[in-house]
Amino acid sequence: MDLILVNIIDGLVTGLLLFMLSAGLTLIFSMMGVLNFAHASFYMLGAYFAYQISIALGFWMGLLLAPLIVGVLGAGVERYGLRRVHQYGHVPELIFTFGLALLIEELVQFIWGKNQMAYFVPDALNFSAFAIAGNSIPAYKIFMIFISIAIFIGLLYILTRTRVGMIIQAALSYPRTVEALGHNVPLIFMGVFGVGTALAGVAGVIAGPVLGTFPGMAFVLGSIVFVTIVIGGLGSLWGALVASLLIGWITTFAKSYNIEMADILNGIGIGTPENLDESLFRDFWTITSPQIADILPYILMVLILIFRPSGLFGKRHS
Amino acid sequence: MTDQITTDPTKPSERMRAGSMTLSLGPWIVAAVLLAVLPFIFTNNSSITIMNQMWITVIFALAYNMLLGQGGMLSFGHAVYAGVGGFACMHIMNASDFFAALPLPVLPVFGGLFGMGLAMIVGSFSTRSAGTVFAMISLGVGELIAACSVIIVAFFGGEEGVSGDRTYARPFFGTEFLQQIEVYYLISAWVLIAAALMYLWSRTPVGRMANAVRDNPERAEFLGYSARWVRFYSFVASGFFAGIAGGLFAINYEILTEENLNTTSSGVILLVTFLGGVGFFFGPIIGAIAFTLLQTVLSLQTELWAFYAGTLFVATVMFFPGGLAGLMMMHVPVFKLGKARLLILPYLKTLLPALIGILGLSALVEMVFHVRHAAYGDDEMTLFWTTFNSHDILPWVVALGVTAIALGITRANAPALRDAWNEANTAGGSA
């Protein structure tokens, strides 16, 4: 029971972190109809910028400044890159963001090298908040949870309760009409792109000390983020939240409980073959859940796409 | 969709594509002769290795372009089909009884069949829609299979991969494929066969319908074609040829690992194809040759070659979405009008300084890299056959100066080039 609680907290942290990335990605998708492959790269940039700033000005200034810089960079990418490629169609746009992701990774290696950066949890948060049956929960995890929830509530408030949010929502669905009403739609798009990438930057700043700041960090998280928004339904903010939490919990639980495939198969009445070592399916029989924890999201995505192609909360089927 | 991807019958360069199912023999004979003669020109072993790599990439890129260029489907996990085909071939190589009865040149067919089988399974649900959803599924399936490679050790061999020995095959007219040059001719033969088959495929009704579905799926549906099944056929065919490329890879390197399946390999093939140009059949061929050369030559010279490749790729997407083939075909009308020589001088005036400017920029990049990452006290670096101290001010001034001046000249001459280009593309007038 106690372990379940610890895992729930761990899964929540992972899920909310995923959500900060997928929220921006799904907003950008519903806006431009294009998946931003470089989204996780902005997350990585956030971590690296925060590291660089934290050397000079400390962690908190990093938390404040790094997302701003990332957001400005993201807006620049939209204005000078994506808008230019947009005229060629969706596929080149996707390819452009893919190339950008490659380029950012190379750029980060160029500037900071290939090693992990010495970017750590600030001293103010480096203590154990409380303990559940001997498992101490670091205060930093609680801090991550609060930041993510605060951002989610803020985002929800802006999108649904303010005038700006109304205009954004309208521009997502009917860009031409909104333009005809006198709003600067390209500017809105640029803004949303900037805010989306800045959110990814925030995620990078707070995840960097925990998950490590290294050139592969975008790659590690990148494809999981796509899986998340596909499972949640492309363009749905709620779907992104539910899918993020789902993936966070599934992977955490799969890693902490060692369930073996042989036990499951025996449980449903299939006997273990006698000479397992020579069987073609020997690897299938010896699979354990921690082993496949990282590919569970992909399996989930393929299943979702087969049985419910629009995702859990998706409305339109593009 | 873009000009480069859509077939536009008013353009002479694209009208050629909409021909009948005949295969004009000229280019193929030239290609065959070239393939046969090249090892006599580049005799050393390393260049034969490079050429083997190149032709395998050619087949793979052409297969990939069946999806991207001709079918409008962007796949982020196509290495999986080549990889699985390759792994299957490796296992056939290790099945000694069966392999001893099989001539080696036939082996890639099995790779193709396995790639095709996997493509049929995945395609049954992934080809329902094109565009973003297809791209996402391809990425997910790609990641899934790449991740499985570490878990399912029986087939993928885990971390160390699967290796075998091609020489156990039944001798093919006395050849046992002990030497690299024999493998070269095997691969060359397969390049010709596969490329010709893929070209013919693009001329069949299914191939033509793939273009129609790419450009306007709704209209194709109204004409009575199922867009989904057209996509499915393209996907399966592409999987087959990717599997052949994988089989050739297995023959050439005699080892396959997780690297052959992962997203990086899938990304590289996208890069190669797009660099060459997706709008034309021969685009991926140029892309594969250019990229392999770039990779082998640059990676010997600099650690930063991936950075340059990435920059080149992004620049291609932004400024030349037609790729190298698109750039070449842009010049066809000029030659038809007989005004090509109008362009020679403006090209020299603009492109030569541009080249120097780019080399200057890359010199600056290399110097920054050296200053940041070289071991402490190691101040000497060699660049363009000159050795200097990267912490001195003089090399920086020289590099900056050369770059600025060269790019300045390029900028100043660009309008003249644009005028010349317009002039050369206008019929009539003083030629």
Write out pLDDT tens, residues A92-145. Answer: 888 888 889 889 988 898 888 888 888 888 877 777 777 777 777 888 888 888
Question: Closest Cα partner for A62 from A193, A204, A197?
Answer: A204
What distance in Å separates the CA atoms of residue B155 and residue B413, rounded to the nearest whole number? 59
Selected residue of A26, A102, A227 to mutate for chain B interface (largest B Cβ count, 10 A): A102
Predicted confidence (pLDDT) at residue A315 exceeds the cutoff of 70 = no
B87, two tokens? 């792994």
Tens of pLDDT, residues A163-219? 888 888 888 778 888 889 888 888 888 888 999 899 999 999 988 888 888 888 888
For B26-325, CATH number?
Answer: 1.10.3470
| Whether residue A277 has pLDDT greater than 70 | no
> Would you call B318 and A106 a contact, using CB atoms and an 8 Å cutoff?
no
Q: What percent of chain A has pLDDT over 90?
A: 13
What pLDDT does residue B15 have?
Answer: 47
Q: What string of DSSP letters covers B126-177? A: HTTS-HHHHHHHHHHHHHHHHHHHHH-HHHH-GGG-EE--GGGSBPBTTB--
DSSP state of A318: -
Sign of CA dihedral B301, B306, B311, B313: positive
Contacts of B140 in chain A (CB under 8 A): 223, 226-227, 230, 298, 301-302, 305
Using alpha carbons, select from A21, A24, A19 the residue that is nearest to residue A241: A19
B68:A102 CB<8 A: no
Lowest-confidence pick of A57-66, A223-232, B294-303:
B294-303
Of the CA atoms within 13 Å of residue B225, those in its CB half-sphere come to: 23
Cβ of residue A230 closer than 8 Å to a chain B Cβ:
yes
CB-based contact (8 Å) between B88 and chain A? no
| Dihedral angle of Cα A69, A72, A77, A79, to the nearest 10 degrees | -170
**Amino acid A276: pLDDT:** 65
A296: closest CA among B147, B193, B297, B259?
Answer: B147
* Token pair for B305: 């070659």
Measure in Å the smallest separation between the Cα of A284 and chain B Cα atoms: 7
Contacts of A306 in chain B (CB under 8 A): 125
Decide if B144 and A299 are in contact by the 8 Å CB cutoff: yes
Q: Is A312 on the interface with B (CB under 8 A)?
A: no
Candidates A95, A275, A307, A318: best to mutate against B (most CBs of B within 10 A) is A95
Domain residue spans in chain B?
Answer: 26-325, 332-424
Confidence at residue B329, expressed as pLDDT on a 0 to 100 scale:
84
- ipTM confidence score: 0.80
Which chain A residues have a beta carbon less than 8 Å from that of B274? 95
Task: Return the amino acid letter for A145.
Answer: I
| Chain-chain contact of A84 with B144 (C-beta, under 8 angstroms) | no
Q: Which residues of B touch A280 (CB under 8 A)?
A: 154
Single out the residue of A74, A92, A95 nearest to residue A190, CA to CA: A74
Question: Does B307 sit within 8 Å of A103, measured CB to CB?
Answer: yes
**Among B76, B137, B151, beta carbon nearest to A287:** B151
| Partner residue facing B314 (CB), from A91, A96, A105 | A96
Q: Smallest CA–CA separation between B313 and chain A, in Å?
A: 6
Taking the C-alpha atoms of residue B270 and residue B272, their distance in angstroms, rounded to an integer, is 5
Of A77, A71, A72, nearest in space to A198 by CA: A71
Confidence (pLDDT) at A280: 64
Per-residue pLDDT, B373: 75
B198: exposed, middle or buried (Cβ count in 10 Å: 0-12, 13-18, 19+): buried
- Give me the residues paired with residue B386 across strands: B383
Q: For position A23, what pLDDT does the model report?
A: 87
Tens digit of pLDDT at every position of chain B (431 positions): 344 455 555 554 444 444 444 557 778 888 888 888 888 888 788 888 888 889 999 999 999 999 888 888 888 889 999 999 999 998 888 887 777 778 888 888 999 999 999 999 988 888 887 777 788 888 888 888 888 887 777 778 777 888 887 777 777 777 777 788 888 888 999 999 999 899 888 888 888 888 888 888 889 889 888 888 999 999 999 999 999 999 999 988 888 888 888 888 888 898 899 888 888 888 899 999 988 888 888 888 777 888 888 888 888 888 888 888 888 888 787 777 777 777 777 777 778 888 888 888 888 888 788 777 777 666 677 777 777 776 777 778 888 888 888 888 878 777 877 887 777 777 765 44
